[in-house]
Chains A and B, each alone.
Chain A
Amino acid sequence: MSRRMLSLYNCRTADANALPCLPVEDFRNIVINEVNDGKRIAALFGLPQNNDTVKLIAVLADDHQGILHLAGTAVRENYPSLTPDCPQAHWFEREIAEQFGIRPDGHPWLKPIRFHQSWTHRNLWNSSGDAQIQPGVTDFFRIEGSEIHEVAVGPVHAGIIEPGHFRFQCNGENVLHLEISLGYQHRGIERQITGRPHNRLIHYIQTAAGDTTTGHTLAYCHLLEALSNCSAPARAHCLRGIALEFERLANHTGDLGAMAGDIGYLPTASFCGRLRGDFLNMTAVLCGNRFGRNFVRPGGTNFDIEKRHIDELRKRLTAAVKDVANAVNCLWTTPSVLSRFDDTGKLSKQLAAKLGLVGPAARACGLNQDCRYNFACGIYRFNQIPVATWDTADVFARAYVRWLEIQHSAAFIQNQLDTMPSGPVQTEIPPAAPNKIAAAMVEGWRGEICHIAVTDAEGQFVRYKIIDPSFHNWMGLAVAMRNQQISDFPLCNKSFNLSYCGHDL
């Protein structure tokens, strides 16, 4: 069956024409069967064709072999939905329906996800051509009953966070159902990335999700280097790995502090807030920016690191990690904290696999998947990081996996600082090859970041697809909240800590 699919290694290209165009039924069966066999949908997106059809491309990730399998089909107005037999496709099919006005027949939950105008002349929700679409205005699922009450939260929240709308159907303190409606941050990034790769694109990528600057930029650079058939120098790979792990350290530390803050546990909350800043400052030593902006670039990195900075980073990292250990270990030894973390927001391993979760949220359910290991590219081909998993699948697991990853990342950075290869940090990259399709998967701190590019006969992007890990995981949060206390939602939400702008693009 795999001969009907196109196989692709991570950060490699294939001939775009080599992707067979299957009949819709075959496409559907292949995707469903492969997912049942343990593969995951890393991406499912539409590629507009000239003759008013849209080519659907499914990218299936085989975690065990580290290979991506691509399947394609052409659809015009509608096609049989995959979602009833393959829940992972749920969000992707809604995205396709919104972008191209193509109806997945039999989709159980067909609503807009970003509330923008269709890219084609077809529109599923009958909004007129230039009318403004209001995000969050849709028919929400409702449970009727005299004892049921509805709680609506957002899009404006009490804390300084991004906008998103949450609808709870509650019976007393119990949440029966949570529906999440996003789209407030939609900026239209994917549509901006067309034409020949140029210097301005990287700024769109860096701000796709501001807290994952390095992750997304790295995926973009890997993709561009693959399309141009060149490779960054070894020293650049090493520096990129360090930047990516610093991003993970900063965010994981911040998350653990924020989770402690949500349950009113002061010691960890206050110290982790400062320590997150320490890690951000270490990123600033690399490139002058706390969030790693303008560090990674196609062909290498913008900045090299001096010997004295290596020594300084090594010293500051040791001190910061020691402090993090002190602050975080308070969590695991305080009974009142454990009683909040344990058994809150449980999500079974089977369900997590079915929904296609990625990143720490998936590893906390015992799923053994990490792009740094399964789809290693860049520095991770030479230096592997152990995959941190836990199997209790609750808030505790999501916190503990973060703590394990903090330790692994810190050790990795120390190791890289000790064994930094010499040489240049940049190469010039030639223009992108024509008629290619390429995929890059990078394990950002939130999980798998997947970028896919398709080029035309001139080597211009005809489609650039960005999939932030949040895109996979929002549904996981909604399902984890079922039959939980509504007062535990902020804690659960923080344990996933998903991106709004990364999802909305």
Chain B
Amino acid sequence: MTMTNLAAMIIQPASAILLAPMLLGVINRVKAFFAGRRGQPLLQPYYDLWRLLHKGAVYSTTTSWVFRTAPVICLTAIILAVFIVPVGGRRSLFSFNGDIIFAAYLLGLMRFFIVIGALDTGSSFEGMGASREVHFSALAEPALFIVFAAMARQTSNISFSGIFAAVTPQMWVNNCATLLLAAAAMLIVLLTENARIPIDDPNTHLELTMIHEVMVLDNSGPDLAFILYGAALKLWLFAAIFVGVLLPINQMPQWFSIPATVAAVFAVAVFTGIIESCMARLRLLNVPNLLFTSISLAILSLVFALRN
């Protein structure tokens, strides 16, 4: 292993860990632009995290150790997942055959602890949020797995590093359908998993309509900082997977492909901001329809991949 490769392997998770909160800043600025406002500073999410880390936490007397452990486990799980997904490099820091499944279950672990942390408070709002979260992610997960299956079949690889490295311009010419359908399905999963419009509204203050936000209403101080930072990393992770499926990094030199991928991740944030600026949230009843669409697209992608 050469020094450049090692450096590339370290730069990738480092960029995620440093830049992830900026994605939220970018989305907020895009939304502000569409609303005709100047918007908050790009670095506002960092200021918020810094402020929260310096605050004390308040714990409801109805909560148990589960509520206090959940934020730590969530953050750990997502950081582990960040080490697995490459951002423009040939290989990520931890890469092995089958890491796509490992990463998916790290995300599952994160969700599980957010949900039981919410249930631990005994609040009716958080219970409702937990129920919605579990309902929708149960539908988003199959879509994600089928996308992974399609990409694994298409590239004959079962690790993120292998799959992303195998996407070539030639594959875009020959198997355009597989890639496009997988990307479309991925985009819907990205919006769902990160609680963005049209599935959830991250800016709302209305407890009765929230999904993700309502589950962390009782968290405060460093716990809330962990959860918010974890959410930012999760957005980064999904954007990186989305970009990885689309971008043929194989032909680029490594010094170029990493910045190009990071730029593409920010482009995803801009795109998310545009979606949020020009459409309303779905009625909660209709969210499963959107997720079934995502599953269908993923299956179609798999069918095209199998045909090759």
**Interfacial residues, chain A to chain B (CB-CB below 8 A):** 149-153, 158-159, 172-173, 260, 262-267, 269-271, 274, 334, 336-337, 339-340, 344, 485-490
Contact = CB atoms under 8 A, between A and B. Distances in A.
A270 B282 contact: no
Contact of B279 (A172, A336, A344): A336
Interface in B276-305: 276-286
Contact of A264 (B34, B35, B37, B276): B276
Contact of B207 (A158, A274, A339): A158
A270 B209 contact: no
B205 interface: yes
A487 B34 contact: no
Contact of B282 (A172, A274, A336, A490): A336
B203 interface: yes
B125 to A, nearest CB: 7
Contacts of B284: 173, 485, 487-488
Nearest to B198: A336
Contacts of B286: 339
A150 B278 CA distance: 35
A159 B204 CA distance: 9
B31 interface: yes
Nearest to B202: A264
Contacts of A340: 280-283
A267 B198 contact: no
B279 A486 contact: no
B35 A266 contact: yes
Interface in B176-234: 197-198, 201, 203-209
Contact of A151 (B34, B125, B201, B209): B125
A263 B281 contact: yes
10 contacts: A149-B124, A151-B124, A173-B128, A264-B276, A269-B35, A271-B35, A486-B128, A486-B208, A487-B208, A490-B208
B36 interface: yes
Given A265-B279, A274-B36, A339-B282, 8 more contacts: A151-B128, A153-B208, A264-B201, A264-B280, A266-B35, A267-B278, A339-B280, A339-B286
B259 interface: no
B206 A334 contact: no
A254 to B, nearest CB: 16
B142 interface: no
A400 B279 CA distance: 19
B102 to A, nearest CB: 34
B296 to A, nearest CB: 20
Nearest to B281: A264
Contacts of A263: 280-281
Interface of B: 31, 34-37, 124-125, 127-128, 131-132, 197-198, 201, 203-209, 276-286
Given A265-B280, A485-B285, A490 B206 contact: yes
Given A266-B35, A270-B35, A270-B37, A334 B124 contact: no
Contact of A485 (B35, B197, B204, B283): B283
A490 B207 CA distance: 9
A490 B209 contact: yes
A270 B208 CA distance: 22
A434 to B, nearest CB: 52
Most chain A Cβ neighbours within 10 Å, of B198, B280, B283, B285: B280
Contacts of B281: 263-265, 336, 340
Nearest to B201: A264
Given A151-B125, A152-B124, A267-B35, A337 B280 contact: yes
A140 to B, nearest CB: 14
Contacts of B207: 153, 158
A332 B298 CA distance: 33
A274 B206 CA distance: 21
B308 to A, nearest CB: 36
Given A151-B125, A264-B197, A158 B279 contact: no
A486 B128 CA distance: 10
A344 B206 CA distance: 17
Given A266-B276, A270-B37, A158 B197 contact: no
B284 to A, nearest CB: 4
A264 B204 contact: yes
Contacts of A488: 209, 283-284
A267 B127 contact: no
Contacts of B36: 270-271, 274
B202 to A, nearest CB: 9
A256 to B, nearest CB: 13
Nearest to A262: B206
B124 A150 contact: yes
A337 B283 CA distance: 10
A315 to B, nearest CB: 21
A270 B39 CA distance: 12
Nearest to B211: A487
A29 to B, nearest CB: 43
Nearest to A273: B35
A135 B37 CA distance: 41
A152 B204 CA distance: 19
Nearest to A158: B205
Given A153-B207, A490-B209, A267 B34 contact: yes
Contacts of A262: 204, 206, 209
Contacts of B197: 264
Contacts of A270: 35-37
Nearest to A150: B124
Most chain-B Cβ atoms within 10 A of its Cβ — which of A337, A487, A490?
Answer: A487
Contacts of A489: 208-209
A271 B35 CA distance: 7
Contacts of A265: 279-281
B98 to A, nearest CB: 37
A423 B239 CA distance: 69
A260 B201 CA distance: 12
A264 B213 CA distance: 14
B263 to A, nearest CB: 25
A269 B37 CA distance: 12
A326 B261 CA distance: 39
A266 B277 contact: yes
Contacts of B279: 265, 334, 336
Contacts of B277: 266-267
Nearest to B286: A339
Nearest to B273: A266
B280 A336 contact: yes
B199 to A, nearest CB: 10
